[in-house]
A and B are shown apart, each in its own frame.
Chain A
Amino acid sequence: MIKLMINGQEKNWDGDPDLSLLWFLRDEAGLTGTKFGCGQALCGACTVIVDKQAVRACITSVSDVVGRQVTTIEGLHPTGDHAVQKAWRQMNVPQCGYCQAGQIMQAAALLMENPKPTHDQIRETMAGNICRCGTYQRIENAVNLASTGV
């Protein structure tokens, strides 16, 4: 039996310890906010925060996160009002919205590590997250807004 801590709650898993965290979250734990986009850490749609780092859940196995704190989009903020989430809404970032949970988690992790990222740092860090609708300009503006408050 594997015990996991997800959004501050204990979850148990008695199946394949190599199951990816992505499918555990989505199919076994019912936390569907974390999205499947590529399965190979190429698009960032499945980004979650493990301890304080952004991690691609699709190439992380459940056994990799034993003893660590996993945070998904559902647990980023108790009322959904993390500075990044608020900035996202203020800038009207999403189009289809599918990649945005991963984008928000990546941005939140970036700001945890570097509260005042430069233009280049934002573009480099967020380059791991693909948005096919092409909301990049607004993502950058929203990260700036969350970082600086303006």
Chain B
Amino acid sequence: MNIITNPEKLRGFERNIKVEKISRRSVLRGLGIAGGLVLAAPLMSRQAFAAYQTGAAKMPHGTVIDPRVFVAIANDGTVTIVAHRAEMGTGVRTSLPLIVAEEMEADWSRVKVEQAPGNEVKYGNQDTDGSRSTRHYLIPMRQIGASARGMLEAAAAKRWGVPVAEVKAVNHEVVHSASSRRIGFGDLAADAAKEPVPSADGLKLKDPKDFRYLGKGQVSIVDLRDITVGAAEYGGDVRLPGMKYAVIARPPVTGGKLKSFDSADAMKVSGVEKVMEVQGWPWPSKFQPLGGVAVIARNTGAAIKGRDALKIVWDDGANAKYESAAYRTQLEEAARKPGLVVRKEGDVDAALKAADKVIVGEYYVPHLAHVSMEPPVAVADVKDGKAEIWAPVQSAGGTREDVAKTLGIPEDNVTVNVTLLGGGFGRKSKCDYALEAALLSKALGAPVKVQWTREDDVRHGFLHTVSAERIEAGLDKSGKVIAWRHRSVAPSIGSTFAANAVHQQTFELGMGLVDMPFEIANIQCENPEAAAHTRIGWFRSVSNIPHAFAVQSMVGEIAQATNRDQKDMLLELIGSPRIVKLDSVKDLWNYGEPYDSYPVDTARLRHVVEYVADKGNWKRTVPKGHGLGIAVHRSFVSYIATIVEVAVDDKGKLTVPQVDTAIDCGTFVNPERIQSQIEGAAIMGLSLAKYGEITFKDGKVQQGNFDDFPVIRMDEAPLITNVHIVPANPDVPPSGVGEPGVPPFAPALINAIFAATGKRIRTLPIGKQLET
């Protein structure tokens, strides 16, 4: 059975996915409809930006381009700019308002940023995920800024009685050079507000050469000071009068439910006020709560202690036998048999048969947990048919919809206030914790904070999938690769939405499997079935992690088998500079972007490899016991190449002396935050490669905290991480930054380990595999 997500019906990358049976024909017809984004060449100065379209208009509620929604100017000149996307560490709460400030000629030191509540009718789409804030909003935010500038200039021209063409906004003032007159934005605010919003086609955007902020990287994030003094507000920091503190005991097996509980001992704990059942939804049910038993107390410590004292009997349900080792065997066996063909060029069977040599690689990447430093937490105040939520959510609009549906009240009666997120990584795209708080507040008639403990986070989250990948590469006598078959078997995120989703969805296949860029005559990608036994969700970089691990490890294996330099091998496989034709891929998912604007461009892929090889000194000689590895991967429509240097001592202890990563993300806004994202991606990549593994036994997650689900700490971090940003060409549309740094890291590391030790790691995490 082939179950495919209709891209036209994707309610955002991480929301309301509809998994349904539809014919390929209807999908193709859907894809043929051009996007309707309000972008056109005449809006831009010719040097500024080539016209390009993005998928922004296809997101739920699309894009709102209205300065009256996003910009306010006070009489004292303070400019308030709305940040409608969630801040989880990428810097977007600074970057998007900075774009507006740039274009309207506001002085950044006089700008205040205000976080928008969830309201997509007003602000447009708010799903902060898929590494797309900058690529979807660079132009809209510039248009908003330019509109605001136009209104200020019009107001000034009117006051002076001069043609508007003679005035110009410069650094928080409008200037009439001919008469040396100038008026501050504050003085113009009231008049400017009365001006009509300029029509989009009359807008003139700034020439990039006049940018003061964009592309410079000199602006710190707006929350920097608050963060360093403990004043920044995250989800758990919200305090309301009369607020109760709750923790919840949830069914330990996905799909399980409460049978009975005894709260007598819990009620004896000092500070515990109430124990009650929380409604759960049958699995799968998207982001709805798992249910369980809540302990309500005067503080979180008492609630946790009370929960420890609960006696609960669970009905474990259908997933009670889920066991990781057996499941791995099942996935690997499936990968050895033919599966649903999702890309086909040439005749891979014949080519493999005719090949002089066939190299087979079987790779495994286990479940991963997000473990953002801030575990899920939410505050809700539900009364009189209205709900107000304060929560660290990636999807403010989606949360509002889900709270309304869960409580059975109109969306207009729901307010979702978005706090800072203490990390997100995809976990906080699922708002189950906010729904729990809403349900509890309604039941108690009081404001409630629901705090997840770290163990709750590890055991009841939406895990990264678990994946078996098998690649067969056929080589001719000269060593040229003539056949490539990649089978990818992994339970799909679709299974969180529909019970019958046993194939990877188009958006998962499109993440490094079917968009594989190599120039090989015979290519076949297959996706055998895999049924999920726990909640699967988006994890930073998503399916790119296993797909890139397999593809880029195989490049290392082919180089190894043919005794060639890894980088040369990689470039040979990428082949000629071209736009990769993916015509055989049905329902190609290109990160939600039109392929014309964001094709798979092997010239850029090659360039980023050459760039990192040059900047990262690929040709260098490393000491004995050290090794260099390289990998490249396009994801979130950006191109990233990484070189990792490892050192492995005679006991097998692995250290990372140096990492070099090059990123080509097109035009960019804040290179300083790009650098920080890529530095962080190396740490996350190293964490998952070295340690990352969630396992199941009897249907239950076996890990619980940072002792048994370790992540990289400072003493194991790379000694040096260099980030090389490919200089921006203003004609190249912006692309993702938050996620694409992660996928190439693990294969580069594994290739480096091979160079250092001659040992080929095919199973993640590395764990003890290097120990001697």
Bound CA span A19–B300, Å: 10
Interface string of A15-55 (1 = CB under 8 A from B): 11001101110111011111111111011010000000000
Contact assessment for B90 and A32 in the assembled complex, using a CB-CB cutoff below 8 Å: no
B707 contacts which chain A residues (CB < 8 A)? 40, 42
Contact assessment for A42 and B705 in the assembled complex, using a CB-CB cutoff below 8 Å: yes
Interface string of A124-143 (1 = CB under 8 A from B): 10111111111111111000
Contact assessment for A134 and B705 in the assembled complex, using a CB-CB cutoff below 8 Å: no
Question: Closest chain A residue to B449 by CB distance?
Answer: A27
Contact assessment for B224 and A92 in the assembled complex, using a CB-CB cutoff below 8 Å: yes
Contact assessment for B229 and A132 in the assembled complex, using a CB-CB cutoff below 8 Å: no
Bound CA span A7–B707, Å: 31
Contact assessment for A16 and B271 in the assembled complex, using a CB-CB cutoff below 8 Å: yes
CB-contacts of A35-94 with B (<8 A):
35-40, 42-43, 45, 72-74, 76, 80, 85, 88-89, 92, 94
Cross-interface CB contact of B300 among A27, A104, A134, cutoff 8 Å: A27
Cross-interface CB contact of B228 among A80, A126, A132, cutoff 8 Å: A80
B224: min CB distance to chain A, Å: 6
Cross-interface CB contact of A42 among B237, B423, B680, B706, cutoff 8 Å: B706
**Given A15-B298, A80-B228, A101-B230: 18 more A-B contacts, CB < 8 Å:** A15-B270, A16-B305, A19-B299, A26-B299, A33-B230, A35-B236, A35-B422, A37-B454, A40-B454, A42-B454, A43-B373, A74-B230, A95-B676, A97-B232, A98-B373, A99-B422, A130-B706, A132-B371
A36 contacts which chain B residues (CB < 8 A)? 236, 300, 375, 451
Is B56 part of the binding interface, using a Cβ–Cβ cutoff of 8 Å? no
Contact assessment for A45 and B717 in the assembled complex, using a CB-CB cutoff below 8 Å: no
B743: min CB distance to chain A, Å: 15
CB-contacts of B742-769 with A (<8 A):
none
Is B643 part of the binding interface, using a Cβ–Cβ cutoff of 8 Å? no
Can you list 16 A-B pairs, Cβ within 8 angstroms, ordered by A? A34-B230, A42-B454, A42-B706, A74-B231, A98-B372, A98-B423, A126-B715, A129-B714, A130-B706, A132-B371, A132-B373, A132-B423, A134-B681, A135-B679, A136-B712, A136-B714
B345 contacts which chain A residues (CB < 8 A)? none
Is B126 part of the binding interface, using a Cβ–Cβ cutoff of 8 Å? no
Give the tally of cross-chain contacts (CB within 8 A): 199
Question: Closest chain A residue to B87 by CB distance?
Answer: A96
B534: min CB distance to chain A, Å: 21
Is B234 part of the binding interface, using a Cβ–Cβ cutoff of 8 Å? yes
Interface string of B659-686 (1 = CB under 8 A from A): 0000000000000100011011111100
Task: List 10 A-B pairs, minimum CB-CB distance, nearest first.
Answer: A33-B230, A134-B683, A98-B422, A96-B89, A23-B301, A73-B230, A134-B680, A95-B89, A97-B227, A80-B229
Contact assessment for B711 and A132 in the assembled complex, using a CB-CB cutoff below 8 Å: yes
Bound CA span A36–B223, Å: 19
A73 contacts which chain B residues (CB < 8 A)? 229-230
Cross-interface CB contact of B715 among A28, A123, A131, A137, cutoff 8 Å: A123
Is B502 part of the binding interface, using a Cβ–Cβ cutoff of 8 Å? no
Question: Closest chain B residue to A139 by CB distance?
Answer: B714
Contact assessment for B683 and A94 in the assembled complex, using a CB-CB cutoff below 8 Å: no
Contact assessment for A39 and B454 in the assembled complex, using a CB-CB cutoff below 8 Å: yes
Cross-interface CB contact of A131 among B298, B299, B300, B373, cutoff 8 Å: B373
B721 contacts which chain A residues (CB < 8 A)? 137
Contact assessment for B676 and A96 in the assembled complex, using a CB-CB cutoff below 8 Å: no
Contact assessment for A38 and B705 in the assembled complex, using a CB-CB cutoff below 8 Å: yes
Is A147 part of the binding interface, using a Cβ–Cβ cutoff of 8 Å? no
A96 contacts which chain B residues (CB < 8 A)? 87-89, 372-374, 420-424
B551: min CB distance to chain A, Å: 24
Is B304 part of the binding interface, using a Cβ–Cβ cutoff of 8 Å? yes
Cross-interface CB contact of B301 among A22, A88, A124, A127, cutoff 8 Å: A22
A45 contacts which chain B residues (CB < 8 A)? 373
Contact assessment for A136 and B232 in the assembled complex, using a CB-CB cutoff below 8 Å: no
Known contacts A123-B715, A126-B714; decide if A40 and B228 are in contact (CB<8 Å): no
Bound CA span A140–B721, Å: 12
Is A100 part of the binding interface, using a Cβ–Cβ cutoff of 8 Å? yes
Known contacts A92-B672, A95-B676; decide if A124 and B715 are in contact (CB<8 Å): yes
Contact assessment for A134 and B420 in the assembled complex, using a CB-CB cutoff below 8 Å: no
A90: min CB distance to chain B, Å: 9
B233 contacts which chain A residues (CB < 8 A)? 32
A99 contacts which chain B residues (CB < 8 A)? 373, 422
Interface centre among B90, B423, B451 (most CB of A within 10 A): B423
B422 contacts which chain A residues (CB < 8 A)? 35, 96-99
CB-contacts of B250-294 with A (<8 A):
270-271
Bound CA span A42–B421, Å: 21
Contact assessment for A35 and B373 in the assembled complex, using a CB-CB cutoff below 8 Å: yes
A53: min CB distance to chain B, Å: 19
Known contacts A32-B237, A89-B225, A132-B372; decide if A24 and B714 are in contact (CB<8 Å): no
A91: min CB distance to chain B, Å: 10
Question: Closest chain B residue to A85 by CB distance?
Answer: B228
Total count of chain A residues near the partner, CB < 8 A: 60
Interface centre among A38, A85, A100 (most CB of B within 10 A): A38
Cross-interface CB contact of B234 among A35, A89, A140, cutoff 8 Å: A35
Is B16 part of the binding interface, using a Cβ–Cβ cutoff of 8 Å? no
Interface string of B392-426 (1 = CB under 8 A from A): 00000000000000000000000000001111110
A98 contacts which chain B residues (CB < 8 A)? 234, 372-374, 420, 422-423
Contact assessment for B679 and A27 in the assembled complex, using a CB-CB cutoff below 8 Å: no
Bound CA span A141–B254, Å: 43
Interface centre among A42, A123, A130, A137 (most CB of B within 10 A): A137
Is B611 part of the binding interface, using a Cβ–Cβ cutoff of 8 Å? no
B225 contacts which chain A residues (CB < 8 A)? 80, 89
Interface centre among B89, B229, B271, B300 (most CB of A within 10 A): B229
Question: Closest chain A residue to B680 by CB distance?
Answer: A134
Known contacts A33-B231, A80-B228; decide if A23 and B680 are in contact (CB<8 Å): no
Bound CA span A130–B225, Å: 20
Contact assessment for B221 and A23 in the assembled complex, using a CB-CB cutoff below 8 Å: no
Known contacts A23-B299, A30-B239; decide if A94 and B224 are in contact (CB<8 Å): yes
CB-contacts of B418-472 with A (<8 A):
420-425, 451, 453-454
Bound CA span A35–B271, Å: 21
B740: min CB distance to chain A, Å: 15
Bound CA span A136–B681, Å: 12
Interface string of B681-711 (1 = CB under 8 A from A): 1111000000000000000000001110001
Cross-interface CB contact of A95 among B90, B230, B299, B371, cutoff 8 Å: B90
Question: Closest chain A residue to B455 by CB distance?
Answer: A39
Question: Closest chain A residue to B677 by CB distance?
Answer: A95
Question: Closest chain A residue to B234 by CB distance?
Answer: A98
Known contacts A27-B299, A85-B229; decide if A134 and B220 are in contact (CB<8 Å): no
A16: min CB distance to chain B, Å: 4
Contact assessment for A134 and B229 in the assembled complex, using a CB-CB cutoff below 8 Å: no
Question: Closest chain B residue to A88 by CB distance?
Answer: B228
Contact assessment for B680 and A19 in the assembled complex, using a CB-CB cutoff below 8 Å: no
Contact assessment for A136 and B717 in the assembled complex, using a CB-CB cutoff below 8 Å: yes
Question: Closest chain B residue to A72 by CB distance?
Answer: B230
A104 contacts which chain B residues (CB < 8 A)? 228
Contact assessment for B301 and A20 in the assembled complex, using a CB-CB cutoff below 8 Å: yes
Bound CA span A43–B713, Å: 9
Bound CA span A98–B236, Å: 11
B299: min CB distance to chain A, Å: 4
Bound CA span A89–B669, Å: 20
Question: Closest chain A residue to B220 by CB distance?
Answer: A92
B454 contacts which chain A residues (CB < 8 A)? 37-40, 42-43
Cross-interface CB contact of A133 among B232, B680, B714, B715, cutoff 8 Å: B680
A24: min CB distance to chain B, Å: 7
Is B245 part of the binding interface, using a Cβ–Cβ cutoff of 8 Å? yes
Is B482 part of the binding interface, using a Cβ–Cβ cutoff of 8 Å? no
Bound CA span A133–B227, Å: 14
Question: Closest chain A residue to B707 by CB distance?
Answer: A42
A19 contacts which chain B residues (CB < 8 A)? 271, 299, 301-302
